[in-house]
Amino acid sequence: MNLIPVGILGTGKYVPERILSNADLEKMVETSDEWIVTRTGIRERRIANADQASSDLALPAARRALENAGITAEELDLIIVATITPDRFFPSTACILQDRLGARKAAAFDLSAACSGFIYGLANAHALIASGMYRYALVVGAECLSKVTDYSDRNTCILFGDGAGAAVLGPVPEGRGFRSFVLGADGSGGELLKLEAGGSRTPITPEVLEQRLNYMYMEGREVFKFAVRVMGSAAEEALRRAGIGKSDIDLLVPHQANIRIIQSALERLSLPEDKCMINLHRYGNVSAASIPIALAEAEEENRLREGDTVLLVGFGGGLTWAASVLNW
């Protein structure tokens, strides 16, 4: 079976206007700007308004990606929204987005793989287009993590922010587009990073709210060790599957969780920092939206040239990990 080459035709991003700085957090919990920057590299993050949900952030990012791709919403065959903060359990955020975009012929579903979700979404869309089933797909990473962050927990509230990034996928000339995908999971680590309440296991009750189980919980040290290990191994496996080496990478776009995790990946890949897209100092960790926001920003800053070899790599709750190599 001859597979159709598939690539990214356009990207877009949207972040809320409100900025939550380290100085603001100093007034909320026992922490300091120096402590946060030294340990994470984060200086500020964006926070959605009380009346904004994930679909509200996804919509402008999606419109920008469609505009940059030169594709109309009516031409879309598929919409995938990667998120752990959907507007509701159902209908899916992708269906809400489909309606608001006017993408009437598009199939739509949400995907839950936490911070690895955007690459998981790319892999799904790629397979459906490469097989000839669909022609154009919109993949969005959108999060309102501020809605599930406990601002009395200094271990987590310093890390997370809100935003959305999007990419339109479609057929590209031979020799361009995606060259490999690596997707992985280790469910035995699920308890290390979780949101306990709200599902069928632990429905919301007054007691659950009192125990603050409706907020994210993270075993920071264990997740850090996992991330350092898996970022490097997933990246190396994606390069191996693409048949290229570390020296062929023109730009690394990693999940933006912690500057020390990114530096460790750069070391393992023997890459200088100028070959890496880093914006976590502005946005913090935006889960599934981190990589597409960074990718859109790299394009805005003219850091991507036609033919460049780009490596995407992420890790997240689940535990999950994902990586992809593409020719821009």
Catalytic residues: 115, 255, 285
Q: What are phi and psi of 71, to 5 degrees?
A: -120, 140
What 3-state class would DSSP assign to 128?
Answer: helix
Within 10 angstroms of residue 14's Cβ, the number of other Cβ atoms is 23
Within 10 angstroms of residue 55's Cβ, the number of other Cβ atoms is 26
d(CA 249, CA 160): 28
Gyration radius of the chain's alpha carbons: 19
- Phi-psi category of residue 198: left, alpha or beta, with phi > 0 → left and psi -120 to 50 → alpha: left
Q: Kindly give the pairing relationship between strand 309-316 and strand 251-254.
A: parallel
Find, among 146, 113, 153, 143, the residue nearest to 286 by Cα: 143
Sequence length of the chain is 328
Looking at the DSSP assignment, which residues form a beta bridge with residue 44? 21
CB 265 within 8 A of CB 254: yes
Q: Which two tokens stand for residue 196?
A: 């306990």
Q: Which two tokens stand for residue 188?
A: 């035995």
Looking at the DSSP assignment, which residues form a beta bridge with residue 248? none
